[in-house]
């Protein structure tokens, strides 16, 4: 199934608002833009506490705490390497929902705060139509 290079998604465990995501075939793993995050340990489990990046419809997002699966070294859009926490959460894209991995980073200088990579496309069985946006509509 073809999807646009931008689509509406739901982060079903983190927010009740639709968010705009960019589907990036150049990225392997998805990325969630956060306003801020801090890491800490509970026993032997590394955790991350974070607030999703603000949007016009959600100007004051809630705090969330999730386990850190691991740390990933990621080359950002300006070519610099950055060590990011990796989490898992549910997303809904079109009529499907899947639990997927995302790194967390501050994307304040980026228009789109959520990036979906090739792992997402593979999980959903979608291909990107680079000439179209919002092929799936505003959710189902």
**Long-range contacts of the stretch 42-46 (C-beta < 8 A, 24+):** 46/85
Tell me: the pLDDT tens digits for 19-76?
999 999 999 999 999 999 999 999 999 999 999 998 776 677 789 999 999 999 998 7
74/43 Cα distance (integer angstroms): 27
Does CATH number 2.40.170.20 belong to domain 2-129?
no
Tell me: the pLDDT tens digits for 101-125?
999 998 777 788 999 999 999 999 9
99/71 Cα distance (integer angstroms): 18
| Domain residue limits, the chain | 2-129
Query: Which range, of 36-45, 51-60, 87-96, 126-135, averages the lowest pLDDT?
Result: 51-60
Tell me: the pLDDT tens digits for 5-16?
999 999 999 988
Residue that is written with structure tokens 């959600």 in the block: 58
């Amino acid at each position: 199934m073809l999807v646009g290079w931008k689509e509406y998604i739901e982060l079903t465990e983190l927010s009740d608002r639709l968010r705009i995501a960019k589907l990036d075939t150049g990225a392997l793993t998805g990325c969630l833009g956060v306003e801020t995050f801090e890491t800490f340990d509970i026993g032997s489990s590394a955790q991350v506490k974070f607030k999703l990046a603000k949007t016009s419809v959600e100007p004051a997002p809630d705090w969330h705490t999730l386990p850190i699966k691991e740390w990933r070294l990621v080359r950002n859009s300006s070519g610099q390497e950055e060590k990011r926490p990796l989490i898992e959460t549910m997303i809904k894209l079109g009529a499907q929902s899947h639990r997927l991995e995302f790194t967390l980073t501050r994307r304040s200088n980026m228009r789109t705060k959520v990036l979906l990579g090739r792992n997402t496309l593979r999980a959903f069985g979608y291909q990107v139509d680079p000439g179209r946006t919002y092929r799936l509509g505003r959710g189902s």
